[in-house]
Structure 1
Amino acid sequence: MQKTVLLIHAHPEPTSLTRTLVEAAKTSLLASGHRVLESDLYAMNWKAVFDAADFPQRVNEDRLCFVSESGNAYAKRAQTQDVEDEQAKLRQADAIVFQFPIWWFSFPAILKGWVDRVFAYGLAYGYKDAGNQHRYGEGGFAGKRALLSVTVGGPFEDYGARGINGSLEQILFPITHGTLFFSGMEVLPTFAVYGTGRLSEAETGLAIEGLNNRLDGLFTDAPIPFRAQNSGDYQDKHQLAAEIAPGRTGIVAHHAEPDLFV
């Protein structure tokens, strides 16, 4: 069955591994019969800074409150056209693939700015104008799948369970859990290529093969088993109930299979 996949990527260099993987992903998804939408943020000259210019019709001209202005702009279809266009892609997408290099343990700034501006109040958060009632497993993006496909300069050893940089999945927790799962998406385990500054042609081929294999499972692989807010694990919708993951604290406590979250 044909699905629609939004491929969002962020790298300014056309010959980069990121862009190589983007082209490979498009080829693979199209060959599988899927429809591909694309957001090439550098080619789009995407405005990364979230500021007053995002709100042509202000609720309060004296003080900028992003929540109220975002909610008003989204509800009244008074957002800037670039944001409207990206939200339209998101609505159509059954899955979103984010392809980017890890820069300082996170998104490139242009991609973070895409999230800041596109994930509006009433859509990605504050869903149905119900405050925090619909988050972490629910929300405007419920039913959509997400995959981070990242390139990492350092070796795998730096990002293993005891690596000096910390576990990659835990480093990316603010994105996978705090951005994507928060807004309702089912988030797949991250696909990563390590040591990207020194890849041989053969290793690049293996990276492409690995990504293609993951894309084959984009709609069938099990997502990361994050605990949903309204599953009963968070009885007050803020903290885990005492009987859930006893003795566990921090990031791993919010993962239903914490021993696998390394």
Structure 2
Amino acid sequence: MNILLVYAHPEPKSLNGALKDFAVQRLKDAGHTVQVSDLYAMNWKAALDPSDSTDRHADARFNPSLESKHAFERGTQSPDIAREQDKLRWADAVILQFPLWWFSMPAILKGWVERVYAYGFAYGVGEHSDRHWGDRYGEGSMAGKRAMLVVTTGGWESHYSPRGINGPINDILFPIQHGMLYYPGFEVLPPFVVHRTGRMDEARFSSTCEALGQRLDDLWNTAPIPFRRQNTGDYTIPELTLRDEIAPGRYGYAAHVE
């Protein structure tokens, strides 16, 4: 299988760097073909701006969505964007690996999503009508592909528990897993989360690699998170809210999982 690992950490000698190297070797040893987008090493430009389109008029008003759409359709996207889109087309599975910084992904990875997910490529596709509100949330250009997060945190696992001070990890990762991965159609696997990274000794690193290796071995056997599909009746259209009889009394992350 073809696997794209999008990696966001500025220090190659970090724990993240070691886990990335382990993951790549484990996947290759299993016979997979792996590409790595090491965003810091690539000097990836995080900001979505007018330079992302190569044929625009300098004095034109900048409309991010429409210019993304036109550049994608006309083949006038910045070359770095087009290369990453080609990697996504090629991949059977995508792994996003990053440290949890201020309750989200590093800005450079958010910028990768904003620039690579062009209008017409990852969103704005499919029929929009009173019965089908675009190909998204379980449908779309990434349908049939799998995705997984590999995330490190400095906090304890209990800090991210259902009653932990930081909030449940599934709620924190919801905008990424549901919004950035499930939205364009990926089957999203449960995340691999490493807590308390400042307390990583050799023995714990070994056990962490063993656990990560098992998750990578099971990449095509693990059941995805059962997010509800948008266009199969659970949501009213065009309001896109859950029907009253679906998950009554449940809200947030829990309401959108079957």
Q: Report the AA paired with residue 6 of structure 2.
A: I
- Measure the CA separation in 1 of the matches of 2:127 and 2:232: 20
- Measure the CA separation in 2 of the matches of 1:78 and 1:14: 33
* Mapping for residues 221-232 of structure 1, pairs under 5 Å: 221-232=222-233
- Measure the CA separation in 1 of the matches of 2:59 and 2:177: 35
1:98/1:147 contact within 8 Å kept: yes
* Distance change in 2, residues 1:129/1:116 (3 Å): farther
Q: Deviations over 1:200-225 (max 9, x none)?
A: 11111111111101111111100001
Q: CA deviation at 1:123?
A: 1.0
Q: CA deviation at 1:107?
A: 0.5
Equivalence for 1:137 = 138
1:240 aligns with 2:245: no
Equivalence for 1:209 = 210
Moved more, 41-50 or 58-67: 58-67
- Measure the CA separation in 2 of the matches of 1:235 and 1:105: 31
2:4/2:36 contact within 8 Å kept: yes
- Measure the CA separation in 2 of the matches of 1:101 and 1:211: 15
* Mapping for residues 58-73 of structure 1, pairs under 5 Å: 58=56, 61-73=59-71
Q: CA deviation at 1:66?
A: 1.1
Q: Alignment partner of 1:149: what SS?
A: strand
Q: CA deviation at 1:62?
A: 2.9
Equivalence for 2:123 = 125
Equivalence for 1:260 = none
Q: Deviations over 1:187-209 (max 9, x none)?
A: 00110111001211111111111
- Measure the CA separation in 1 of the matches of 2:246 and 2:57: 43
- Measure the CA separation in 2 of the matches of 1:250 and 1:12: 33
Q: Normalising to structure 1: TM-score of the pair?
A: 0.93
- Measure the CA separation in 2 of the matches of 1:51 and 1:216: 39
Q: CA deviation at 1:233?
A: 0.5
Q: Report the AA paired with residue 256 of structure 2.
A: H
Equivalence for 1:165 = 166
Q: Deviations over 1:58-80 (max 9, x none)?
A: 38953211111011011111101
Q: Alignment partner of 2:226: what SS?
A: coil
| Gaps in structure 1 of 5+ consecutive residues | 257-262
Q: CA deviation at 1:155?
A: 0.8
Q: Report the AA paired with residue 196 of structure 1.
A: T
Identity of aligned residues (%): 52
1:59/1:72 contact within 8 Å kept: no
Q: Alignment partner of 2:3: what SS?
A: strand
* Mapping for residues 110-121 of structure 1, pairs under 5 Å: 110-121=108-119
Moved more, 231-240 or 136-145: 231-240
Correspondent of 1:33 among 31, 34, 52: 31
1:59/1:68 contact within 8 Å kept: no
- Measure the CA separation in 2 of the matches of 1:247 and 1:180: 26
* Mapping for residues 37-186 of structure 1, pairs under 5 Å: 37-58=35-56, 61-128=59-126, 132-186=133-187
| Gaps in structure 2 of 5+ consecutive residues | none
